[in-house]
Amino acid sequence: MNYFNKHIIITGAAGFIGSSLVEFLLKNGGYKITCIDNFDDYYDISAKQKNIAAFENHANIRFLKIDIRNADELNKNLCDDYDIIVHLAAKAGVRQSILQPNLYEQTNVAGTLNLLEFAKQKNVKQFVFASSSSIYGVNPDVPWRETSALMPVSPYAATKIAGEYLGYTYSKLYDIRFIALRFFTVYGAKQRPDLAIHKFTELITKNNPITLYGNGDTFRDYTYIDDILSGIAAAINYDKTMFETINLGNNHTVGLLDLVATLENVIGKKAIAQFDKLHPADSPRTFADITKAKKLLNYNPQTQLNDGIRKFYEWYVNN
């Protein structure tokens, strides 16, 4: 099945990944896209407004300010026929989720349930869900496969697991194809300012100290946004099995000190580093086995860290 020229709902469309996906789809096909975002103030709303400026008034775009926690608003405003839902909206941040677990449950679990109910009622048969590598938590057996034990250490991660299980249930009950994509540390142009690469870049550029948690001995599987977008696009078109969980990572884990060294090299400044203990909500290491993504989605990440950091820094300087 080819979803070219289909009508897609994208939630979280003003965010980093969401707005990048909208631009990607507009460049690569005649999709009709209904964008949903509530412009949550977790970070500066003006950044989200900049994210959508290039396509907000595009002929193939309809942009709605809706909170996915409000099922009545979804049903009231979404009156067309839809083919696919790409659900990227979420309350983000593993550490903040410890402080506001109820809010994370309301958005990430109840909000996802509202969208699945909507899909059932409107007969939307393709549902792509943004899950997270954080669900593997403190599992020491890396690289993580989709069958690896889930050991979440934050309410955020637990809500993502709940979203996957809700998707499985609705897939079985209502014949909705549900593809859960487990993203691994996505970075690139428009990345959220609270995430490490963006935050470190700003601090190093301004000669301010950066804080490295866990004595700098943590590791992450950094995945460039363009590679993630190719994976999402393949999931939009996937038409084989009815339920899948799939890792989207770079299949290469990088130490925090190596990340800082790469940033220093690209920016042309030395970082002023200070150290603190590892936060209990953080995983010591993330590392994706992407065998399944290669097989099912023909996923093949192309961007290595040094090239991705250079691209990000060019965007940062220009913005």
Long-range CB pairs of 67-76, under 8 A, 24+ apart, other chains included: 67/38, 67/111, 68/11, 68/36, 68/38, 68/107, 68/111, 68/112, 68/114, 68/115, 69/106, 69/107, 69/110, 69/111, 69/114, 70/114, 71/114, 71/117, 71/118, 74/114, 74/115, 74/118, 75/118, 75/121
Confirm whether 37 is domain-assigned: yes
Residue 173 maps to which CATH number? 3.40.50.720
Confirm whether 21 is domain-assigned: yes
> What's the number of domains the chain is made of?
1
Strand, helix or coil for residue 247: strand
**Which residue type is seen at 219?**
F
CA 231 – CA 225 distance, rounded (Å):
10
Among 150, 299, 143, 148, smallest CA distance to 219 is for: 143
> Among 3, 82, 136, 156, which one carries the catalytic annotation?
156
Is residue 129 over pLDDT 80?
Answer: yes
**Which residue type is seen at 236?**
I
Phi, psi of 77, rounded to the nearest 5 degrees: -100, -20
CA 190 – CA 104 distance, rounded (Å):
23
Q: Which residues contact 268 (CB under 8 A, 6 or more apart)?
A: none
Sheet containing strand 177-183, edge to edge, reads 61-65, 32-37, 7-11, 84-87, 126-132, 177-183, 243-248
Q: How much of the chain exceeds pLDDT 90, in percent?
A: 93
pLDDT for the residue numbered 1: 41
Q: What residues are paired with 61 via a beta bridge? A: 33
Task: Please state the rounded mean pLDDT for residues 233-238.
Answer: 97
Neighbours of 318 (CB within 10 A): 7
Is residue 253 over pLDDT 90?
Answer: yes
Domain encompassing residue 101? 7-187+224-251+288-301
CA 85 – CA 263 distance, rounded (Å):
36
The 10s digit of each residue's pLDDT in 71-94 is 999 999 999 999 999 999 999 999
Confirm whether 15 is domain-assigned: yes
Phi, psi of 132, rounded to the nearest 5 degrees: -150, 145
Confirm whether 307 is domain-assigned: no
Confirm whether 203 is domain-assigned: no
pLDDT for the residue numbered 149: 98
Is residue 21 over pLDDT 80?
Answer: yes
Confirm whether 149 is domain-assigned: yes
3 classed as catalytic: no
Structure tokens at 207: 């000669």
